[in-house]
Amino acid sequence: MNSYLSTKPILPADRLIVALDVPEAAAAKAFVTQLGDAVSFYKIGLELFMAGGYFELLDWLVKNDKKVFVDLKFFDVPETVRSAVRALAGSGATFATVHGNQAIMEAAARDKGDLKILAVTVLTSLDRGDLDDLGFACDVDKLVLSRARRALETGVDGIVSSGLEAPMIRSELGQKLLVVTPGIRPVENKPADDQKRTVDVAQAFRNGADYIVVGRPIRQAPDPKAAAEAVQKTIAATFS
């Protein structure tokens, strides 16, 4: 079986991004403090954005030598997206997501500075039935590949993609794009889980991910720091 293990110069410890999907900034800070040096990269999304203190949290993370993935999935008219990305570019964030057509991605790439822009392909909570409901008359993998090709053309830095589609992207596009893979489940997926297109840690990287995003399997573990360290151990072994 082919392996598409990332060849990009990324520290193994930085390849784990932990999702701070908690209800308030104080809880996020407490969780980051609990994990300590086990995690160096965090994703902050819509829940924290709506809770208040979002940019203060971003600044706190950066000042504590953490990398930050701003996952707000900018989707609006291109000029508005460009302005939003330009405003975020000096914040110290490493990644930000956009979700939209070619014009939106091009606008996001125009004034991104050192910020790396990731285009969302298809959310990992969606499957073929969901795409039918949304009016997409194609398979998930075809839609993901189409959006990845468009992302490459627009000048964004990478994509967010399920680990199931990552091998196809690497086969078609090589190592040209960063691939960030959410929906990581170190153990068997629970029936009530809203993530449908999942892979485990090692498989995600063998399939071509540069980074993985892990949320609940770490956050809800009996010992979150031990769970994070276990993921880091798997990553280190995969790239050794």
Q: What CATH number is given to the structural domain containing 45?
A: 3.20.20.70
The residue from 63, 73, 176, 190 that is catalytic is 73
Nearest to 180 by CA among 2, 1, 3, 18: 18
Count of domains for the chain: 1
Let me know if residue 192 belongs to a domain: yes
Residuewise pLDDT in 10s, the chain (240 residues): 468 999 999 999 999 999 999 999 999 999 999 999 999 999 999 999 999 999 999 999 999 999 999 999 999 999 999 999 999 999 999 999 998 889 999 999 999 999 999 998 755 544 545 444 545 545 667 777 878 888 999 999 999 988 888 898 999 999 999 999 998 876 544 444 444 446 899 999 999 999 999 999 999 999 999 999 999 999 999 999
Let me know if residue 168 belongs to a domain: yes
Let me know if residue 3 belongs to a domain: no
73 is known as an active-site residue? yes
DSSP string, the chain: -------S---GGGGEEEE---SSHHHHHHHHHHHGGG--EEEE-HHHHHHS-HHHHHHHHHHTT-EEEEEEEE-S-HHHHHHHHHHHTTS--SEEEE-S-HHHHHHHHHT-TTPEEEEE-S-TT--HHHHHHHT--S-HHHHHHHHHHHHHHHT--EEE--TTTHHHHHHHHTTSSEEEE--B-SSPPPTT-S--S-B-HHHHHHTT-SEEEE-HHHHTSSSHHHHHHHHHHHHHHHT-
Nearest to 114 by CA among 137, 95, 141: 95
Let me know if residue 7 belongs to a domain: no
Let me know if residue 2 belongs to a domain: no
Which residues are within 8 A (CB) of 233 and not within 5 positions of it... i.e. 6 or more apart?
Answer: none
Q: What is the pLDDT of residue 228?
A: 97
Which residues are within 8 A (CB) of 193 and not within 5 positions of it... i.e. 6 or more apart?
Answer: 185, 216
Let me know if residue 6 belongs to a domain: no
Let me know if residue 136 belongs to a domain: yes
Let me know if residue 28 belongs to a domain: yes
Structural domain boundaries, residue 149: 12-238
